[in-house]
Amino acid sequence: MIKLFNANLMRLWKNSAFWGSMGVSLGMGLFMVVDSWRSAQESGGAWSSTVDAELFKYAAFIGILAAELIPLFFGTEYSDGAIRNKIIVGQSRLSIYFANLITGCAACVLCSAAYILGCAALGIPLLGWFTQPPALLLTALAGSLLMTAAFCAIFTFVTMNCARRSTSVVICLLGAFAAFIGAIVIHSMLEAPEFIQGYELSIGGQIVPAQPQPNPNYLTGAKRELYQLIFDLLPSGQSVQYCSLQFGDPARLMGLAAAVCAVFTGAGGLLFRRKNLK
């Protein structure tokens, strides 16, 4: 498997999709810092941001990059016969699957690193030094990288069990966008206030606050726990939390991300072993 991984890295180094993803990630890191700095300047100091607030916003788009990069990079292995050739020379199917999974994770980690380095290199001079505790930043880094690995496990599952590259690209991208939309919808439902503040017209003709009314859309009990579990389980839901550095139980998030990795890697490996490669 080490030889397969090394060969994948050599291909990755020459791959235009990978370098394009690296460039997009680096550019996004620089853009986020410049945009925050410009907003602070335009507000005259009324609004300000820190480099910490921008540092993990790569979590918002790393899933989209993975959904594009992994099927584009590995999808050609069916059409050009690379998988059959690897098996002919004695490589096992599981070795091929795991080598591709690790390569995809490494590529996405490098894209994440490009964002972080660009954001920190420009953000520290413009926005100042970090203000959050180091433990929080390290926890967010570890959690967001594990979340990235979960994305990679899902998209590798699709790519390695789909013989047509165009089909796997479409499935991965549509799935990624659908997951992000679903995460945003669930987040808005979880953030709905318990009471709705109304207003009424007083006797003197002034508009004054009325008695708060219960919000019928507020989630309670088992329903709220279920929606929170789905939100925490989805890598896209985790990305929303890491972007804003607002995550309640990082151990829970990392455990769920590891579970997603294990389930999709195990299922993908089993399906790939039985797949007809003719």
List pLDDT tens digits, range 209-260. 667 778 888 888 899 999 999 999 999 999 999 998 888 899 999 999 999 9
Asked whether the predicted pLDDT for residue 46 surpasses 60, the reply is no
Give the pLDDT score at 16.
Answer: 92
Asked whether the predicted pLDDT for residue 48 surpasses 80, the reply is no
Q: CB under 8 Å to 237, separation ≥6 — which residues?
A: 183, 186, 187, 230, 231
Query: Which one, of 34, 28, 80, 30, lies nearest residue 58 by Cα?
Result: 28
Asked whether the predicted pLDDT for residue 136 surpasses 80, the reply is yes
Give the pLDDT score at 29.
Answer: 95
Query: Which one, of 93, 110, 196, lies nearest residue 145 by Cα?
Result: 110
C-alpha dist (Å) from residue 142 to 92, 116, 122, 139, 207:
31, 13, 22, 5, 50
More confident residue, 104 or 192: 104
Give the pLDDT score at 208.
Answer: 58
Give the pLDDT score at 202.
Answer: 58
